[in-house]
Chains A and B, each alone.
Chain A
Amino acid sequence: MLRHIARRLLHLIPMLLGITLISFAIIQLSPGDFLAEARMNPVVSTETVDRMRTSFGLDQPLHIQYLRWLWNALRLDFGYSFAFQVPVIWLIGSRLMNSVLLNAVSFAVAWAIAIPLGIHAARRQYSASDNVLSFSAYLGISTPTFFSGLFLLYLAFRTGWFPIGGMTSIDHDFLPWWGKILDVAHHMVLPVLVLGVLSVAGLMRQMRANLLEVLRQDYVRTARSKGLAERAVINRHAVRNAINPLITIFGFSLGGLLGGSAILENVMGWPGIGKLIVEATIQKDLYVVMASLVIGSVTLVAGNLIADVLLVVSDPRIRYD
């Protein structure tokens, strides 16, 4: 097991090299650079733009730029953002926890709702409640985030029940600690609804299908014919075996903890990392994009690794060594 983990971590090195090299090349090969905005400003002279280019190191050959970035990145120095002149780490750090919080809560809400619903639907296949759930799931899966986000914003506007976007109110700092938590929770209702509902649909369908598959197995029939209580059959035997594919999904979802809400953050003004990365990509703020790619790749790989470990824990049949 430990050897497997070590091997996976070793694989990460060439993979990250590949990812960063290709991303760097693609970003640099597309026309235009970060200085476009300065160039279109009549007050800024060519000389000033050229000086900025030099100070950002953009006048160096591409391979030098990449190697220089790589060398610094190896020492965990991800450079400075062109746009903000602050360390990329600070910039990402200032928003990272907001994204993690939003995604983690949505994640927890989604799983807490989806799993029981999925079990319910599988146990009463083709019943009225199963049909209603299936229909809602299709609706949920097929509604794009930006659309449901906008719709809920409009709802918040019409009813006045929820704030219009953002994460805290302007009086946040005057509130006692419990007031601060309630304030953030109040702002979180709508985005969590959008993100949560979106994944509830998928997860529920997955859980339902897995459980139906397992319920057809011989050992379930054996358990039932032994006279085991239905509750025990489902919870102790069937669900445990049906959960494996969901653990894999869980691993993938961990990778989405950071960037999974990018679109919604842009629609609802959630001050997360997704919004930052989208803006950086549009502006070609090179080092911000590179750092977020590295973080995204590492979390994805880490998520898969965690899923693998969990699979071993959950299913005694799986061994890696």
Chain B
Amino acid sequence: MRGMVLRLAVMAIAGALVVSTPVVAQPPKLTLPDILNPVVAEGEVGRFGGTYVTTSISDPRTFNAVVAQETSSTVPLGYSFDGLVETNRISTEIEGALAESWTVSKDGRTWRFKLRKGVTWHDGAPVTADDVVFTLDAAFTKGVQSSLPDVLTIAGKPIQYKKVDQFTVEFKTEQPFGPFLRTIGFSVLPKHKLEGALKQGASEFNRTWSVATPPREIIGQGPYVMQQYVPGQRIVFLRNTKYYRVDKKGQRLPYLARLVIVVVPNLDAARLKFEAKETDFYAARPREFAEFKQKETAGNFTIFDGPPTFSTEFLVFNQNPKGISGPKLAWFQNAKFRQAVSHAVDRDAIARQVYAGRATAQFSPVSPANKFFFNPNTRRYAYDVARAEALLREAGFSKGSDGLLRDPAGNIVEFTMATNAGNTDREAIGNLVRQDLTKLGMRVTFAPEAFNTLVGKLTGTFNWEAIIIGLTGGLEPHTGQNVWRSTGSLHMWHPRQESPATDWETEIDRIFDQAAQMVDQNKRKQLYNRWQEIVAEQVPMIYFATTLTQPAVRNTLGNIRLGLGGSTADIEELYYRTPYR
């Protein structure tokens, strides 16, 4: 799940601030014999060779980048495939990757991308506009299991795309689309390798370049070439000697000769392997920070005090008349009730006890990691039992002599709160929240259950009362539309509404419509500020705490610069300082 955050961040981040300066031209400082305009890396000049070893807690599910959804697949594929553009981890700006420049028309609907000339696939064939068009053809083929069409459908119409010449592609959107650059960084696939599979139909294409395919047949254009996949054990990559990025001296990147992702059963095994110096990187959990800090010198690594994550954890009450009824529905639909609960939650205790202090209280759906869109001025709910009790009294609730809270009709306030079993953080949060709510006189049963079951209730039967769960996030609020629009299937408290049930949901729908069509990022920010205010006021989701990241990296590695979501290095610039192993 943590890895997922990174992926969404990278996917969604693109271009928050760039659209207002539509033309990006990099003056060619260096040239290569075959590539006129290579990307010049920002980091220090490193040395060549070495093997970088990292871990994954699950096997990849596919090597087909159009179909891939989980980080277990998208992370390894990210080493072998590039897109037209990508997000700079540090500045968060959009930069050209396969595309060297782009322009947008005055009406904000037509985008033209110029591809970098001389870039080749791992087998030597040139990367052209045909490949970009083919990738989209594949993604939009009915039956191909890709989420790309979900992202590239604007105002109900799929994006239009065409080849202008061998190195130019053009996109047209139905309306001006603010998050455009952030959605166009998908991995480009080679037409000459996959055309045949797509012609045989969608299900054949879904199964092409599966994990059963010999890895050397997986042809990308990214910094690393997939060399070997041993199921349940590891994925091995070798350096792409024809990559289109260079360092400041004009030497072709990447530096590392070999890259290995070792598949381990769980995070504890990943940690042991890191501490035993079998691996070079470990994304430590908040609780582990202090302990790792002490072991830094002995273990020859550095643990970084990283930026906040993009993911959120929250409590949501069911407000869906199709799922529950009677007094419970009335309580949960009452904003004062939800505000009271929010005041009763001791977020500092959660940050302290669950996350060892490596977290801060959260009140907005946007993580503070998202510096551009985060609104720090939304309503905050300090831990205040008296205030919570006052709000409940205003709403007609009263506490009897038995200490139990009753609604105006005299019903005892009792409900079941669930979360997905096995997620120890959420289980710990649930126990603390249950204690907090008991102080208000509520009778809460905390019952963790299997993830599948929980999601089945949340999105299918709607038969639940309160749930603690989390979502991954990214820089672009628009990618959360499935959660925030009243028609969304992840609009958890009341999904798939025919028309918005409340005024504030109507307003949020309008905000998401408007912000999507706006290209001026500052105006979009104003709209999303308003959205965050509404959410903080109505508290359909009661957020707990944003955790910080704490990546640990072996000191033998160079070009470590902390960036978005706790990422530590651009893979092509990473190098071994010492004579490598």
Contacts and interface: CB of A to CB of B under 8 A. Distances in A.
Given A43-B482, A45-B482, A157-B275, A168 B230 contact: yes
B210 interface: yes
Interface string A1-35: 00000000000000000000000000000111110
Given A85-B207, A86-B211, A170-B262, A32 B483 contact: no
B269 interface: yes
A38 to B, nearest CB: 7
B34 to A, nearest CB: 31
Interface stretch (A70-78, A198-206, A265-273, A311-319): A265-273
Contact of B471 (A42, A83, A98): A42
Contacts of A156: 276
B31 interface: no
A24 B229 CA distance: 32
A218 interface: no
A111 interface: no
Given A85-B62, A269-B264, A90 B269 contact: no
Interface string A55-74: 10000000000000000000
B212 A40 contact: no
Interface in B144-170: 145-147, 149-151
A111 B210 CA distance: 41
Nearest to A276: B232
Contacts of A321: none
Given A85-B206, A164-B272, A164-B276, A41 B147 contact: yes
A173 B453 CA distance: 42
A84 B232 contact: no
Contacts of B504: none
A56 B210 CA distance: 16
Contacts of A284: 452
Nearest to B53: A170
A46 B453 contact: no
A160 interface: yes
Nearest to A169: B278
Interface size class of A (residues with CB under 8 A): 35 or more
B210 A86 contact: yes
B232 A98 contact: yes
B98 to A, nearest CB: 22
Nearest to B479: A43
Contact of A55 (B145, B151, B490): B145
A55 B144 CA distance: 9
A52 interface: yes
A48 to B, nearest CB: 6
B232 A275 contact: yes
Contact of B232 (A42, A49, A271): A271
Contact of A30 (B206, B232, B266, B453): B453
Contacts of A31: 452-453, 456-457, 460-461
A87 to B, nearest CB: 7
From B142, B149, B233, B260, name the one whose CB has the most chain A CB atoms within 10 angstroms: B233
A157 B276 contact: yes
A173 B260 CA distance: 13
B273 interface: yes
A251 interface: no
A164 B236 CA distance: 19
Interface in A81-139: 83-87, 90-91, 94-95, 98
B455 interface: yes
Interface in B273-315: 273, 275-276, 278
Given A33-B452, A42-B481, A44-B147, 4 more contacts: A39-B459, A86-B211, A94-B232, A165-B272
Interface of A: 30-34, 36-49, 51-52, 55, 80, 83-87, 90-91, 94-95, 98, 153-154, 156-157, 160, 163-168, 170, 173, 265-272, 275-276, 279, 282-284
Interface of B: 8, 11, 51, 53, 58, 61-62, 67, 69-70, 142-143, 145-147, 149-151, 202-203, 206-207, 210-212, 228, 230-234, 236, 260, 262-266, 269, 272-273, 275-276, 278, 450-461, 469, 471-472, 479-483, 489-490, 496
16 contacts: A31-B461, A32-B455, A40-B490, A42-B472, A44-B150, A44-B482, A84-B210, A85-B207, A164-B278, A165-B273, A166-B264, A168-B233, A267-B265, A271-B231, A271-B232, A282-B451
